[in-house]
Amino acid sequence: MPSGDLHFCKSCTYAKATRKSVPKVREGDRATEFGGEVHSNVWGPSPVESKGGKCYYITFTDDKTQLTHLYLLARKNEAFESYKDYEAWCSTQLGAKIKILHSDRGGEYLGQEFILYLNSQGMAQKLNVHDTPQHSSIAERHNRTIVEHIRAPLHASGLPKYLWGEAAWHVVWLLNRTSTKAVDGKTPYEAAFGKKPDLRGIHEWGEKVWVRVEGGNKLGGRVREGRWIGVNDKSKGIRVYWPDKKTVSVEHNVYYDKTCSSISQLEGEELEEFVEMKIDELVIPPSSSNSTSNPSHIQLSASHATRDPPSEPSMDVEKPPSEAETRPR
């Protein structure tokens, strides 16, 4: 056979076939309007049921703004109802119509009822090639990020794992209010609604809180200890987990620990007042002319005044005679 002729070897292909690389270039341009393309994926089943018996969650991420919605599911076949809820929200709140739904080839997206509904609404369906999750990089990356951020607060707080659903809601709430390069450094919330999100009142997930309770006797306490597990936008309240009853409720009269041990919880004016108070309490010892003429030296001393304990004055102590001195001559 001439050296320049091509030859296809079936045996070589059989033995050496590998996965072909997925091009990093996106298929087409980014959507120019909300709902132009929506990425969706289902995660689960979870090894532990959440509150309410949920084992899965489904996400819908808008391609233009990266705004993500998450719905907890008891079964995969509830994905269709969740999609209709999301579609109704887009239409009512933003006046947007979904044009393309991008997902994998999971059975929850290929059911006859789901496909007929998309066709009746004139929506296109973009599907990945099987065994190639890279084609849906946005949805897959969001799911990986959400799961990682669920594990972290559950581990740090020591709360039971059946609260993973509450953690998932809080994670998505934060992701929507965190700046990202995908929308030129804005937050998905700002990209979608045109205003910056209000992050006041955010605390560490699982932090201990004290909630005022009504009723009780005249000598009893007026608060009850719970755990902070997120905000509730519908009622402008705080979601609190009660370890003793293993329930979750929405509360308003919530008190936090804002002592020195929890300075990270202070915000805005409260943090500024705390810092000013601590600076006023610092006692800077009399310094030499070098320190008075160098403001930076004073600041450095103040920053370390509460960290380094004061040195004790040295005392002259008579040393015991050495062995050489006591040896007879």
Write down the pLDDT at residue 249.
94
Radius of gyration of the chain (CA): 31
If one counts the domains in the chain, the total is 2
pLDDT for residue 205 is more than 50? yes
- Domain ranges, residue 63: 38-193
Quick one: angle between helices 164-175 and 137-157, nearest 10?
120
Write down the pLDDT at residue 5.
66
Question: Which among 140, 165, 193 is the end of a domain?
Answer: 193
- CATH number of the domain within which 68 lies: 3.30.420.10
Question: Which among 166, 193, 220 is the end of a domain?
Answer: 193
Is 34 within 8 Å of 192 (Cβ atoms)? yes
- Do both 86 and 183 map to the same domain? yes
**Is 278 inside any structural domain?**
yes
- Residue 57 CB: number of other CB atoms within 10 A? 25
**Is 314 inside any structural domain?**
no
**Is 6 inside any structural domain?**
no
- Do both 106 and 211 map to the same domain? no
- Do both 160 and 76 map to the same domain? yes
Side-chain half-sphere of 63: how many Cα atoms within 13 Å? 22
SS (H, E, C) the chain: CCCCCCCCCHHHHHHHCCCCCCCCCCCCCCCCCCCCCEEEEEECCCCCCCCCCCCEEEEEEECCCCCEEEEEECCHHHHHHHHHHHHHHHHHHHCCCCCEEEECCCCCCCCHHHHHHHHHCCCEEEECCCCCHHHHHHHHHHHHHHHHHHHHHHHHHCCCHHHHHHHHHHHHHHHCCCCCHHHCCCCHHHHHHCCCCCCCCCCCCCCEEEEECCCCCCCCCCEEEEEEEEEECCCCEEEEEECCCCEEEEECCEECCCCHHHHHHCCHHHHHHHHHHHHHHCCCCCCCHHHHCCHHHHHHHHHHCCCCCCCCCCCCCCCCCCHHHHCCC
The stretch 86-90 carries a mean pLDDT of: 97
pLDDT for residue 58 is more than 50? yes
- Do both 207 and 166 map to the same domain? no
- Do both 183 and 117 map to the same domain? yes
**Is 262 inside any structural domain?**
yes
- Do both 246 and 113 map to the same domain? no
Pairing of the two strands 56-62 and 68-73: antiparallel
pLDDT for residue 117 is more than 90? yes
- Do both 179 and 206 map to the same domain? no
Write down the pLDDT at residue 304.
42
- Do both 114 and 253 map to the same domain? no
Task: List, edge to edge, every strand of the sheet that includes 237-242.
Answer: 247-251, 237-242, 223-232, 208-212, 254-255
- Do both 179 and 244 map to the same domain? no
- Do both 206 and 171 map to the same domain? no
pLDDT for residue 30 is more than 70? yes
pTM comes to: 0.71
The stretch 54-78 carries a mean pLDDT of: 96
Is 187 within 8 Å of 197 (Cβ atoms)? yes
**Is 164 inside any structural domain?**
yes
The stretch 310-321 carries a mean pLDDT of: 46
- Do both 51 and 166 map to the same domain? yes
**Is 77 inside any structural domain?**
yes
Choice among 4-8, 31-35, 223-227, 252-256 with the minimum mean pLDDT: 4-8
**Is 7 inside any structural domain?**
no
The stretch 221-249 carries a mean pLDDT of: 92
- CATH number of the domain within which 266 lies: 2.30.30
- Do both 163 and 266 map to the same domain? no
Question: Which among 193, 214, 249 is the end of a domain?
Answer: 193
